[in-house]
């Protein structure tokens, strides 16, 4: 090895998926793949997840959803929730992508495109439970449901799901959000069959607040082994990715590795502990193209440094690093540049 690499453990991803699935206790896992599968790489992640039995995938936008569809074939559910252009809607309808719909305007456009193409739009309507992050307002909900039902009767739409997003900031706010969500589900159920996919929770709430789960849980972070910042370790879940770099030079007894701020390593991480053959050592300097680490006995070129990974001898995980700089582990992973090769190791 001469360059830094992000090593990916398929075994760990499969184990995490199994741990999350078992924790979900019958609620279906939708594996969230946004930001190139949280920096792990879409193709590798989807192929591994399919081997682990995942049959439902969440992709932020239609473009990503189409990539997932090409990888998983026609059967799996692929859900894309970003509001899309008409051209993207057309592609989504032709490829059987489930669309997350958070405005009445978007619903109208989807129905119009389904009518024009003679296709059936698979729709998950989103209720705004108070986050104001896209979602039909409760006062507009009956109208949106009526539109969806009319389109259903006309053969242009299938109401597959009802969903929303919660802040996971406080239990009370999440409980209030769930109450609004359940009202919306009831209102829909009063006008026709209740949609099968009811989804409100992401990683943390799905894991810690089972009473908030619907029939589907949209989970990214915990499947990749990224625990919540300031949150506890998770039983059966370990980081999938390990960022390693060989020592490129030794300078005044210190190790220099060729990963720097321009590769996505935040320069504010100075002071964090990284793994070395001699145990954890302090990251002393981060420059645009390299970083420098406290030395160790026997330090030599080619020694391997673990910047983050499954924590062993006091080294860091992506979340431990993130906690130093008040962010989340997802950000540490998704900032890593394409120059860092993604390398499957098992």
Please give the residue ranges that form the binding site for ligand PLP (CB under 6 A): 32, 34, 81, 165, 202-203, 218-221
Q: How far apart are CA 61 and CA 88, in angstroms?
A: 9
Q: Is 269 left (phi over 0), alpha (psi -120 to 50) or beta?
A: alpha
SS3 60: coil
CB 112, CB 151: distance < 8 Å: no
Say which residues have a Cβ less than 8 Å from residue 139's Cβ, sequence separation at least 6. Answer: none
User: Minimum distance from CB of 66 to ligand PLP (Å)?
Assistant: 18
User: Minimum distance from CB of 331 to ligand PLP (Å)?
Assistant: 11
User: Minimum distance from CB of 286 to ligand PLP (Å)?
Assistant: 26
Q: Which is nearer to ligand PLP, 110 or 216 (CB)?
A: 216
SS3 33: coil
Q: Which is nearer to ligand PLP, 82 or 107 (CB)?
A: 82
- Return the closest-CA partner of residue 160 out of 111, 98, 96, 74: 98
User: Minimum distance from CB of 33 to ligand PLP (Å)?
Assistant: 9
CA 10 from chain center: how many Å?
16
Q: Using CB atoms within 10 A of its CB, is residue 200 exposed (0-12), middle (13-18) or buried (19+)?
A: buried
User: Minimum distance from CB of 34 to ligand PLP (Å)?
Assistant: 6
SS3 325: coil
Six-digit token string for 41: 């790489």
Q: Which is nearer to ligand PLP, 133 or 339 (CB)?
A: 133
Q: Which is nearer to ligand PLP, 276 or 319 (CB)?
A: 319
Q: How far apart are CA 240 and CA 71, in angstroms?
A: 21
Q: Which is nearer to ligand PLP, 62 or 291 (CB)?
A: 62
User: Minimum distance from CB of 82 to ligand PLP (Å)?
Assistant: 9
Q: Which is nearer to ligand PLP, 27 or 286 (CB)?
A: 27
């Amino acid at each position: 090895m001469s360059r830094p690499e992000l090593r990916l453990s398929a075994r760990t991803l499969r184990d995490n998926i199994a741990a999350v699935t078992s924790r979900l206790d019958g609620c279906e896992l939708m594996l969230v793949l946004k930001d190139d599968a949280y920096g792990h790489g879409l193709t590798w992640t989807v192929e591994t997840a399919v081997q682990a039995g995942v049959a439902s995938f969440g992709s932020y936008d239609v473009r990503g959803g189409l990539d997932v569809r090409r990888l998983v074939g026609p059967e799996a559910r692929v859900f894309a929730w970003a509001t899309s252009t008409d051209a993207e809607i057309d592609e989504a309808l032709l490829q059987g992508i489930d669309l997350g719909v958070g405005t009445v305007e978007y619903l109208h456009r989807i129905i119009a495109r389904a009518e024009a193409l003679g296709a059936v739009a698979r729709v998950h309507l989103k209720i705004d439970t108070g986050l104001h992050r896209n979602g039909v307002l409760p006062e507009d909900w009956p109208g949106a449901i009526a539109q969806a039902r009319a389109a259903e009767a006309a053969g242009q739409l299938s109401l597959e799901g009802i969903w929303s997003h919660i802040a996971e900031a406080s239990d009370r706010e999440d409980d209030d959000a769930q109450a609004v969500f359940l009202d919306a589900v009831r209102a829909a159920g009063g006008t026709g069959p209740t949609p099968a996919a009811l989804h409100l929770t992401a990683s943390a709430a799905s894991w810690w607040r089972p009473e908030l789960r619907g029939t589907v849980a949209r989970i990214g972070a915990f499947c990749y082994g990224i625990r919540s910042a300031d949150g506890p370790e998770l039983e059966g879940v370990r980081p999938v990715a390990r960022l390693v770099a060989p020592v490129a030079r030794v300078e005044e007894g210190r190790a220099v590795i060729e990963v720097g701020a321009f590769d996505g390593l935040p320069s504010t991480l100075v002071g964090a502990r990284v793994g070395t053959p001699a145990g954890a050592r302090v990251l002393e300097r981060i420059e645009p193209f390299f970083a420098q680490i406290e030395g160790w006995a026997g330090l030599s070129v080619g020694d391997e440094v673990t910047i983050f990974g499954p924590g062993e001898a006091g080294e860091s995980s992506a979340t431990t690093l993130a906690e130093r700089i008040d962010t989340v582990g997802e950000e540490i992973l998704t900032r890593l540049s394409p120059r860092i090769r993604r390398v499957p190791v098992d």
